[in-house]
Structure 1
Amino acid sequence: MRAAVFVFILLLSFFGRSQTGRETRIDSLENALKMAEHDTTRVLVLSELARSYGGVDSLKCFKNGFKAIALSEKINYLRGMADANINLAGGYLDYFDVENAKKYFEVGNRLADKLVAKDSSPANMKIWLRGYYNLGVAYGYEGDVAKEIEYAAKTIPIAQQMGDKLFVANGNTNLAIKYNGLSLLDKSYEMFKISQKQFQEIGTPEDLLYHSLSFAICLSAMDSLAQMKTLLDIAKKNLDKIPNSYYRGSYYAELGNYYGRSGQYDKALEALNTSYEFYQGKKSHPHLKLLYQRYAKTYDKIGDFEKAKAYTLKYINFTDSEHSPSDKVGSYFMLAKYEAELDNYKEAYHYLRDFVIAVDSIRVRQLGNDMQQLEIQYKTATKEKEILALKNEKNEAALALERKRSQTFMLGAVASILSLLLFIGFYAYNQKLRRARKQEEQREAEVSLLKQEQQNKIFSAMIEGQEKERKRLAIDLHDGLGGRLSGISLNLSKLNKDEPKEYPKAQLQKVTKDLNDALTELRSIARNMMPETLVKFGLQAALKDYCSSMTGNGTKVTLQFYGTEKGISLNQQVTMYRVIQELINNAVKHAKATEVLVQYMRDGNRVDITVEDNGIGLNKTDFEEKEGGMGISNLRTRVAYLKGDLEFHSEENEGTTVNVQITVDAA
């Protein structure tokens, strides 16, 4: 029976990943996908749809997951690639395809490592946590419990530091489930009590339902039926809050288990029937395997051995054909018992023979006696004399067989001990190598960090020097050459007013106009080199002024400024201004755009800048040529100085969108 409980534990481990109100969430995501304007948004919505359809609709789960991966790779969107691979892996895990689940978890986790190395924001860390934790779950399904607990120990403390209470509660519950599967019931009970308090604080009805059913299984194993009923009552209260919950079948299966162990067999069968109706249309659903075992045990206690035998046969012949040795031993023994109770001694003999083959050799003596007694009962009616004559011969053969098996067992035990010692030595050596590799990786990371810091200092010094030189040159142009040109203009204007007959008036007016144009251009150059508005009034005012100056002659530049530049250093503001200035110039001069949208959004230390135009766009060849030019190279240098990322999204004749994500030094 313990094996059946373990199957149910696995199912709960899978289903614990789902969200409350899943149908509502799926509808909301489908609508969001229809309205999504940007590819990055589409990737994240498709990925979340794959996660939400897991365990519900396999076709839609994998369809959305593969779409999300393909689109994220097309636009080189790192966060989308990590999230999509991890969610697709979760879908495979929902359908017990552990090999594919591990493959996509490993790909997604490598991408998540790169993602959090660049940006360890809470949203990115949650992707990282989900990937590594569920990779451990996948190892657990293969029986590698040590690996599963290792990944749990790696992720849960980080989630706790981040304040992700729901992740911690789920993690503690799954650890409790794992301890229960290992028969460490005291440890399992302790972990369940911890996660129970956590779920009561922040859990949804579905979280509480998941936890209560899992805890009830542990209490059943501890023979604590009163506490088990209390947990089942909590589960029922939360089940009633969730229409069409897929936990309905699980709840009634455990309720049937409780009533059966309490001696209330009619109620037990009623609850099991309700659970069976829930899974009846899903003939290959693993939960039916558990129900067949529960039915058999209940009918056994009632004394209906015919039905107990029928359900045991359904269990042992279940479509998944995956039964542990303990499953087979227990099932064959119970079938032998039922056939004996029904006076079918021949069938009982055959089942008991299968039981003997499957059971541990240590129990051969007792099992041989049971087999001998059943064999005598089977042959009494027709061959009583023959059995009596051969009895001694049978006993001697059984004794010889027992001695031979005992010797085999001893040899196997010695071989097992030697294998264990070899494994321990190999494991210790492997751990030593792993620690050495880890230390080497840490040293390489430290060197890389130092190189990055040095590079940032070089960028900072370079750009700061450029800006100082620009400011000096702007002052010189404005106060020096600008002053002289203004004086010339005034003198020529004065001569024009005096109207000397010896000077041609038309030519003088042309010279005056040329000088005025030169003065206007000079002031424009000085403003571009060091915008006075930015120094006096800040980034928002400077951008507003520049966008206004670029609007005209069939071009409209719109600025949307959300947040503030407060606390951002002047050097960083000037660099942001230069980046946006260059992007607007590219859109107007090179992309021939008539509409340009500039968005500045700040959230804490994070600044997102988007410049979107309706210009001619770039094909792949054009973009590669532009990428090699100084313009985009300078943009990337400035963005790197700001500790940011620069992304281009462009299609020929469909415009260009440039996203800049910056981490500023402000608190």
Structure 2
Amino acid sequence: MRLTVLTFFLFLSLTGMSQTGRETRIDSLENALKIAEHDTTRVNILSELARNYGGIDSLKCFENGFKAIALSKKINYLRGMADANINLAGGYLDYFDVENAKKYFRIGNNFADKLIAKDSSARNMKIWLRGNYNLGVAYGYEGNVDKEIEYVAKTIPIAQQMGDKMFVANGNTNLAIKYNNMARFDKAYEMFEISQEQFKEIGEPEDILYHSLSFATSLAQMDSLDRMKSVLDIAKTNLDKIPNSFYEGLYFGELGFYYGRSGKFDKALKALDRSSEYYKDHKSNYYFKLLYQRYADIYDKMGDFKKAKAYTLKYINFTDEEHSINDKVGSYYKLANYEAGLNRYQQAYNYLKEYVTALDSVRASELENDMQELEIQYKTATKEKEILSLKNEKSETALALEKKKSQNYMLWAIASVLSLILFIGYYGYNSQLRKARKKEQQQETEVSTLKQEQQNQLFSAMIEGQENERKRLAIDLHDGLGGRLSGISLNLSKLDKDEPKEYPKAQLKKVMKDLDDALTELRTIARNMMPETLVKFGLKAALKDYCSSRTGNETKVTLQFYGSEQGIDLNQQVTMYRIMQELINNAIKHAKASEILVQFIKDDTKIDITVEDNGIGFKEETLVDKEDGMGISNLKTRVAYLKGNLEFHSEVNEGTTVNVQITLDAT
């Protein structure tokens, strides 16, 4: 029973945990797909739709997944091929098609390996982690627990280095479940304790609820009832925070299990009744099989053998895949005891025969192997006895002396060989250790040097950008505003020199107009230095204001802003504003675009900025030649300051798409 219960919880971790808010996410993705203008954007949205439809609508899951794969191949989009294949594999896993799941996980993981070899950014590493982790889960579905643990243990340290705390917490919980299934309770308990602290730090109520129910079930197997109750109390606290929770039936099922183990049978039955009520419209649900067994155990302890028998029959006749032999052995033995307790000895005898038959089938193969081993041992012993008898006929004394000499020689030879092996091993180990330390020191020195070079380059680029900005500001002030103020000064001097007899209305009107123009130009320069709207009202308002100002008869600039500025400090907002300002100016000035789409999407600590235009485009291999004219160097500097990633996708006469990905934690 331990194996089936905890495997069931593992399945929940892959499906039920992602239901919250999924419908809203799907609607948002469907709407985004309708307005997407570029193939890479369509691939990303189709792949996410396949992932979100998994477990909800198989037709749409596979339809979107295969579309994403086909489009990725067409445009040779490596990231899309990795992500789409892995998400499609996840869809097959949701519907228990393990063979196809493993097939597409392997394909996706191959692409993911190539992807991170080129670019090991956090965004790409998360795809690699998801693919390898879930391939391990697929092996677990087949019962290959060792293989599953191998993949889980492979991915968790990398996720930990990346700072993906939720991935690490879920991975540790699932490792704990697997160790418990292997009866390694000390290791299971250790992993549950670790993941419990991690979920307390970063988990939502539903995450903590999943972990607590898994932990409680494991504690029941360890007979740690006091600890089980404290963990169930944590589960109840978080269950109360989630109306109509997916885990309500599971919680009361585990609570009934606890009360049954504690001898509080009335409370146990009430808890199991609440769990059954939750699943009443889904009686084919696998958890019902577990509930039948728990009802039977409680009625057995209460001495109500009639009800215990009824629930055991429901358990063994449950319409799922065929029961294991061990399942049948245990169930028939219990049925025989129940019938005996009801004084129905004939029926008890019949069930006992079924029990013996099932038990014999379990032992048959074991007995056959034991018999073969005994036969080999017998033949070997007989042959050795014959040889010994022949030798004894010649000379028992000579045999004893020879045997003693042989033993002495053998012991000496073994001792010599062991000493030699130990010496060689010790010398080899020290040699390898010295090489490894030396190599590690060299690598640390190289990494430190590279980091210093990168920091120096970034600092130089920032200084150069500041100097260019100062030069531009000086030119604006000297040629623009300075020229206007010089003209105003000349006009006023002339007016004073001429000493007009009448009120110089026309001349003063011209001076006032020049002053107004100078003030307007001064405000423009000031706004370029630090947008007033950004400081007062935030990034969204500043972008909206700027996009409106750049929209005219020949150019339309559209802004789509999702999320809020919360969690982004002012320096980061100004830098993001400058990035989008530069990209919009490039689209108008260099690409001669008539339509520009600006997207800003903030999801937790992840920010995606996309600027698409329908301009003249360019060949991506000529991007280095365009750095000075398009301000690409300044763009790269600002993105590097935010520790983000910058990507260009362009074709001649097909427009340009620029993507910027930023993780706030990294900055």
Q: For the Cα contact (< 8 Å) 1:62–1:91, is it kept in 2? A: yes
Cα distance in 1 for partners of 2:216, 2:222 equals 10
Per the alignment, residue 542 of structure 2 pairs with: none
Cα-to-partner distance string for 1:148-183 (whole Å, 9 max, x where unaligned): 111111100001111111111111111110011111
If asked which structure has higher relative contact order (CA below 8 Å, sep 6+), I would say 1
Question: Are the structure 2 counterparts of residues 12 and 657 from structure 1 closer, same or farther at C-alpha, using a change threshold of 3 Å?
Answer: farther
Per the alignment, residue 345 of structure 1 pairs with: 345
Per the alignment, residue 244 of structure 2 pairs with: 244
Per the alignment, residue 26 of structure 1 pairs with: 23
AA aligned to 1:120 is S
1:411 is the counterpart of 2:361? no
Per the alignment, residue 235 of structure 1 pairs with: 235
AA aligned to 1:612 is D
Cα-to-partner distance string for 1:475-533 (whole Å, 9 max, x where unaligned): xxxxxxxxxxxxxxxxxxxxxxxxxxxxxxxxxxxxxxxxxxxxxxxxxxxxxxxxxxx
Q: For the Cα contact (< 8 Å) 1:85–1:105, is it kept in 2? A: yes
Per the alignment, residue 118 of structure 1 pairs with: 118
Cα distance in 2 for partners of 1:77, 1:334 equals 60
Residue 601 of structure 1: CA displacement?
Answer: 10
Question: Where does 1:255-274 land on structure 2 (aligned, <5 Å)?
Answer: 255-274=255-274
- DSSP-derived class of the 1:218 partner: helix
- DSSP-derived class of the 1:143 partner: coil
Per the alignment, residue 133 of structure 2 pairs with: 133
Range 214-223 or range 13-22, more displaced:
13-22
* Number of aligned residue pairs: 467
Residue 70 of structure 1: CA displacement?
Answer: 4.6
- DSSP-derived class of the 1:16 partner: helix
Per the alignment, residue 656 of structure 2 pairs with: 658
Question: Are the structure 2 counterparts of residues 170 and 414 from structure 1 closer, same or farther at C-alpha, using a change threshold of 3 Å?
Answer: farther
Question: Are the structure 2 counterparts of residues 65 and 359 from structure 1 closer, same or farther at C-alpha, using a change threshold of 3 Å?
Answer: same
- DSSP-derived class of the 1:281 partner: coil
Question: Are the structure 2 counterparts of residues 44 and 273 from structure 1 closer, same or farther at C-alpha, using a change threshold of 3 Å?
Answer: farther
1:148 is the counterpart of 2:148? yes
Cα distance in 2 for partners of 1:254, 1:413 equals 46
Cα-to-partner distance string for 1:115-140 (whole Å, 9 max, x where unaligned): 22232221221121111111111111
Question: Are the structure 2 counterparts of residues 357 and 111 from structure 1 closer, same or farther at C-alpha, using a change threshold of 3 Å?
Answer: same
Residue 249 of structure 1: CA displacement?
Answer: 1.4
Q: For the Cα contact (< 8 Å) 1:361–1:409, is it kept in 2? A: no
Q: For the Cα contact (< 8 Å) 1:93–1:101, is it kept in 2? A: yes
Cα distance in 2 for partners of 1:656, 1:414 equals 80
Residue 335 of structure 1: CA displacement?
Answer: 1.9
Cα distance in 1 for partners of 2:363, 2:217 equals 29
Question: Where does 1:289-308 land on structure 2 (aligned, <5 Å)?
Answer: 289-308=289-308
Question: Are the structure 2 counterparts of residues 166 and 553 from structure 1 closer, same or farther at C-alpha, using a change threshold of 3 Å?
Answer: closer
Cα distance in 1 for partners of 2:124, 2:25 equals 22
Q: For the Cα contact (< 8 Å) 2:3–2:181, is it kept in 1? A: yes
Cα distance in 2 for partners of 1:173, 1:284 equals 27
Q: For the Cα contact (< 8 Å) 1:362–1:406, is it kept in 2? A: no
TM-score normalised by structure 1 residue count: 0.59
Residue 69 of structure 1: CA displacement?
Answer: 4.0
Q: For the Cα contact (< 8 Å) 2:199–2:208, is it kept in 1? A: yes
Cα distance in 2 for partners of 1:208, 1:552 equals 49
- DSSP-derived class of the 2:657 partner: strand
Per the alignment, residue 213 of structure 1 pairs with: 213
Residue 645 of structure 1: CA displacement?
Answer: 5.9
Cα RMSD between the aligned structures?
A: 4.8
1:647 is the counterpart of 2:649? yes
AA aligned to 1:8 is V
Question: Are the structure 2 counterparts of residues 79 and 224 from structure 1 closer, same or farther at C-alpha, using a change threshold of 3 Å?
Answer: same
Cα distance in 2 for partners of 1:333, 1:600 equals 66
TM-score normalised by structure 2 residue count: 0.59
Per the alignment, residue 330 of structure 2 pairs with: 330
Q: For the Cα contact (< 8 Å) 1:21–1:242, is it kept in 2? A: no
AA aligned to 1:294 is R
Q: For the Cα contact (< 8 Å) 1:649–1:656, is it kept in 2? A: yes
Question: Where does 1:309-458 land on structure 2 (aligned, <5 Å)?
Answer: 309-359=309-359, 406=367, 409-411=370-372
Question: Are the structure 2 counterparts of residues 414 and 553 from structure 1 closer, same or farther at C-alpha, using a change threshold of 3 Å?
Answer: farther
Residue 193 of structure 1: CA displacement?
Answer: 0.8
Residue 269 of structure 1: CA displacement?
Answer: 1.5
AA aligned to 1:107 is I
Per the alignment, residue 85 of structure 1 pairs with: 85
AA aligned to 1:29 is I
Cα distance in 2 for partners of 1:63, 1:200 equals 38
Per the alignment, residue 8 of structure 1 pairs with: 5
- DSSP-derived class of the 1:83 partner: helix
Cα distance in 1 for partners of 2:651, 2:348 equals 73
Per the alignment, residue 191 of structure 1 pairs with: 191
Per the alignment, residue 486 of structure 1 pairs with: none
Question: Are the structure 2 counterparts of residues 297 and 599 from structure 1 closer, same or farther at C-alpha, using a change threshold of 3 Å?
Answer: closer
AA aligned to 1:273 is D
Residue 634 of structure 1: CA displacement?
Answer: 4.2
Range 88-97 or range 131-140, more displaced:
88-97
1:276 is the counterpart of 2:276? yes
Question: Are the structure 2 counterparts of residues 19 and 80 from structure 1 closer, same or farther at C-alpha, using a change threshold of 3 Å?
Answer: farther
Residue 305 of structure 1: CA displacement?
Answer: 1.9
Q: For the Cα contact (< 8 Å) 2:29–2:49, is it kept in 1? A: no
Q: For the Cα contact (< 8 Å) 1:19–1:206, is it kept in 2? A: no
Question: Are the structure 2 counterparts of residues 99 and 21 from structure 1 closer, same or farther at C-alpha, using a change threshold of 3 Å?
Answer: closer
- Aligned-residue sequence identity (percent) comes to 56
Question: Where does 1:384-533 land on structure 2 (aligned, <5 Å)?
Answer: 406=367, 409-411=370-372
Residue 111 of structure 1: CA displacement?
Answer: 2.2
- DSSP-derived class of the 1:659 partner: strand
Q: For the Cα contact (< 8 Å) 2:249–2:276, is it kept in 1? A: yes
1:181 is the counterpart of 2:181? yes
Cα distance in 2 for partners of 1:284, 1:17 equals 20
Cα-to-partner distance string for 1:26-84 (whole Å, 9 max, x where unaligned): 21431342144325445444444443444455455445544544554455443333233
Q: For the Cα contact (< 8 Å) 1:18–1:52, is it kept in 2? A: no
Cα distance in 1 for partners of 2:71, 2:355 equals 55
AA aligned to 1:191 is M
Residue 334 of structure 1: CA displacement?
Answer: 1.4
Question: Are the structure 2 counterparts of residues 325 and 224 from structure 1 closer, same or farther at C-alpha, using a change threshold of 3 Å?
Answer: same
Question: Are the structure 2 counterparts of residues 20 and 346 from structure 1 closer, same or farther at C-alpha, using a change threshold of 3 Å?
Answer: closer
Per the alignment, residue 455 of structure 1 pairs with: none
Cα distance in 2 for partners of 1:64, 1:245 equals 29
Cα distance in 2 for partners of 1:602, 1:234 equals 35
Question: Are the structure 2 counterparts of residues 344 and 99 from structure 1 closer, same or farther at C-alpha, using a change threshold of 3 Å?
Answer: farther
AA aligned to 1:261 is R
Cα distance in 1 for partners of 2:120, 2:160 equals 15
Residue 611 of structure 1: CA displacement?
Answer: 5.2
Residue 360 of structure 1: CA displacement?
Answer: 6.2
